[in-house]
């Protein structure tokens, strides 16, 4: 778990004009409602936004057309490419191919995530087939790429691998992933969740292992570690459930965050009242020496349970300012084993805080 430090992982978001780059970033990382994205103005220059998730991120929103040769690919961990399916996809695909090849030649550790976006335009019955068709086309065009002479001509400083076929094979099979996305449903959150999970590298496996053990010991159906600000899951256990489970947890989290935000000012108001009281009584201000960044292990974080239907409950335990555990469990198990579950949650929280500390978060 070395090498994480506090360095921000840079994520470059590319795609044609109006393909949904700004909308997707605003919806997920700034909580903009999807319908408000129609008012977004055209992005004129690169906009960088810091977002502190389980790892600190720097998200680069870009205009539809700008000089890609101005990009230093070595700086980036990930490229997210938005491919808008409400428009013709041939031209964007023909741009993806040389972009990925050039980026990968200059940074072999970079990852590519293609969001096949605005999927709400597609007929739900044909979505899977349409998705496969586009994915296949991108992969084939990369695998069949042969115009090395003109790439070398326009980029004399870039060294391309001599064994082009094997190199392209690794690029397509190991580096590029595809996600079907729309800002009008949970798919955009799921795709961004996967992007972040890949950036976590080896800590993902460690956290997944902890969630698996927790799930087995506590008889949970499914557990997610959520980034509560972006409503993304940064990790989950391996139990398989329908994808609607993520949606359920995400909706519940959304409702809870709205309610919680109503109380955001309470700690500050309480602090102010204590400070004023001390002043009136001529005593020293006790709040002066207090640290706002309390130790997450000492602090009491919110927790709650909601019952869904017959015999299913969603549990929420907040671990830090940014992270919360959400689990789906049978209500009977929850009632019968509450003490043990709370005990296991405390152990899991401790282990996760230790991992965060080890990576400097
Ligand atoms: N139907 C649909 N429209 C979207 C989606 N994402 C973005 N849009 C719309 O696409 C338009 C262009 O979005 P914008 O984010 O400005 O694109 P950008 O130029 O790539 O940054 C806006 O009107 C958005 O409301 C989506 O998933 N589905
Ligand atoms: Mg934009």
Asked if residue 54 lies in contact with residue 196, where contact means CB atoms within 8 angstroms, the answer is yes
* pLDDT at 352 > cutoff 70: yes
Ligand 2 centre distance from Cα of residue 355 (Å)? 36
Taking 80 as the threshold, does the pLDDT of residue 4 lie above it? no
Domain with CATH 3.30.450.190 in the chain: 202-358
CA 139 to chain centroid: 24
Q: Is the minimum distance from the CB of 183 to ligand 1 under 6 angstroms?
A: yes
Residues with CB under 5 A from ligand 2 (ion): 21-22, 43
Given the CA of residue 35, which atom of ligand 1 is nearest to it? 25
pLDDT for the residue 337: 94
Helix-helix angle 187-199:244-261, to 10 degrees: 90
Is 22 near ligand 1, meaning CB less than 6 Å away?
yes
- DSSP readout, 205-238? HHHHHHHHHHHHHHTEEEEEEEETTTTEEEEE-S
What does the pLDDT look like over 226-281, one tens digit per residue? Answer: 999 999 999 999 988 777 888 889 989 988 887 766 655 666 667 777 788 888 88
The domain 202-358: what is its CATH number? Answer: 3.30.450.190
Instruction: Give ranges for CATH 3.40.50.300 in the chain.
Output: 9-198
Residue 53 burial class via C-beta count within 10 angstroms: exposed 0-12, middle 13-18, buried 19 and up: buried
- The mean predicted confidence, pLDDT, of the chain is 90
Cα 282 to chain center, whole Å?
A: 50
Indicate whether 348 pLDDT > 70.
yes
Closest C-alpha among 179, 199, 288, 256 to residue 4: 199
Task: Give, to the nearest 10 degrees, the angle between helix 187-199 and helix 21-29.
Answer: 80
Percentage of the chain beyond pLDDT 70 is 92
Tens digits of residue pLDDT in 172-221: 999 999 999 999 999 999 999 999 999 998 899 999 999 999 999 999 99
- Residue 346 sits at the vertex; the CA angle it makes with 341 and 351, to the nearest 5 degrees, is 125
Q: How far, in Å, CA of 184 to CA of 206, rounded? A: 32
Q: Is the CB of 8 under 6 A from ligand 1?
A: no
Question: What's the pLDDT score for residue 2?
Answer: 44
Residue 97 has a CB neighbour count (10 Å cut-off) of 16
pLDDT classification of 290: cutoffs 50, 70, 90: low
Q: Which atom of ligand 1 is nearest to the CA of 82?
A: 20
Starting from the CA of residue 37, give the closest ligand. 1
Architecture of domain 9-198: 3-Layer(aba) Sandwich (3.40)
Compute the residue count for the chain. Answer: 361
What's the pLDDT score for residue 6?
63
Which ligand is the nearest neighbour of the Cα of 184?
A: 1
Query: Which of 124-133, 274-283, 284-293, 297-306 is modeled with the greatest confidence?
Result: 124-133
- Name the band, by pLDDT with cuts 50, 70 and 90, for residue 5: low
Across 15-24, 64-73, 129-138, 167-176, least confident range: 64-73
Answer yes or no: is pLDDT of 42 > 60: yes
Return the higher-pLDDT residue of 301 and 61: 61
Q: Of 127-136, 183-192, 240-249, 283-292, where does mean pLDDT reach its minimum?
A: 283-292
Please name which ligand lies nearest the alpha carbon of 84.
1
Residue 142 has pLDDT above 70, yes or no: yes
Question: What's the whole-number mean pLDDT along residues 46-63?
Answer: 95
- Can you give the three-state secondary structure of 308-354, one letter per residue? ECCCEEEEEEECCCCEEEEEEEEHHHHHHCHHHHHHHHHHHHHHHHH
* Window from 211-220, 298-307, 337-346 with minimum mean pLDDT: 298-307
Q: State the average pLDDT over residues 162-174.
A: 90
At residue 38, the 3 state secondary structure works out as helix
The whole-number pLDDT of residue 27 equals: 96
DSSP state letter for 172: I
pLDDT recorded at residue 266:
60
For residues 87 and 209, give the distance between their C-alpha atoms in angstroms, rounded to a whole number: 42
3-class SS at 276? helix
Query: Which stretches of the chain are assigned E, i.e. beta strand?
Result: 9-15, 47-52, 56-61, 78-84, 111-117, 176-181, 220-227, 232-236, 303-308, 312-318, 323-330
The C-alpha atoms of residue 191 and residue 209 are separated, in whole angstroms, by 21
For ligand 1, pick from 32, 37, 185 the residue to mutate: most ligand atoms within 8 Å of CB: 37
Q: What is the pTM of this model?
A: 0.89
| Pick from 215, 181, 177: nearest CA to 199 | 177
Q: Which tokens go with 237?
A: 């256990």
């Amino acid at each position: 778990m070395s090498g994480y430090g506090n360095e921000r992982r840079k994520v470059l978001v590319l795609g044609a004009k109006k393909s949904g780059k700004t909308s997707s970033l605003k919806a997920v990382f700034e909580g903009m409602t999807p319908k408000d994205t129609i008012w977004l103005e055209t992005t004129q220059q690169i906009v960088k936004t810091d977002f502190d998730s389980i790892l600190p991120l720097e998200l680069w929103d870009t205009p539809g057309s700008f000089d890609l040769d101005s990009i230093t690919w070595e700086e980036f961990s990930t490229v997210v490419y938005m491919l808008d399916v409400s428009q013709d996809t041939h031209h964007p695909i023909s741009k993806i191919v040389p972009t990925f090849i050039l980026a990968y030649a200059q940074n072999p550790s970079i990852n590519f995530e293609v969001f096949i976006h605005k999927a709400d335009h597609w007929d739900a019955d044909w979505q899977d087939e349409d998705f496969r068709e586009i994915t296949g086309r991108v992969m084939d065009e990369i695998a069949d790429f042969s115009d090395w002479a003109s790439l070398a001509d326009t980029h004399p400083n870039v060294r391309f691998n001599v064994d082009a076929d094997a190199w392209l094979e690794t690029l397509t099979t190991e580096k590029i992933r595809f996600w079907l996305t729309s800002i009008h449903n949970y798919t955009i959150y799921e795709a961004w969740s996967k992007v972040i999970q890949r950036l976590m590298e080896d800590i993902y496996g460690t956290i997944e292992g902890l969630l698996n053990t927790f799930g087995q010991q506590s008889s949970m159906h499914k557990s997610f570690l959520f980034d509560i600000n972006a409503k993304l899951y940064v990790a989950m256990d391996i139990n398989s459930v329908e994808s609607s489970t993520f949606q359920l947890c995400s909706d519940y989290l959304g409702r809870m965050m709205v309610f919680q935000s109503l109380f955001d000012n309470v700690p500050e108001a309480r602090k102010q009242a204590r400070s004023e009281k001390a002043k009136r009584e001529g005593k020293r201000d006790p709040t002066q020496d207090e640290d706002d960044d309390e130790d997450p292990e000492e602090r009491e974080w919110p927790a709650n349970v909601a019952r869904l239907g017959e015999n299913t409950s969603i549990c929420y335990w907040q671990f830090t300012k940014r992270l919360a555990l959400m689990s789906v469990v049978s209500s009977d198990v929850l009632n019968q084993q509450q003490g043990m579950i709370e005990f296991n949650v405390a152990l899991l929280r401790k282990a996760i805080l230790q991992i965060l500390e080890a990576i400097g978060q």
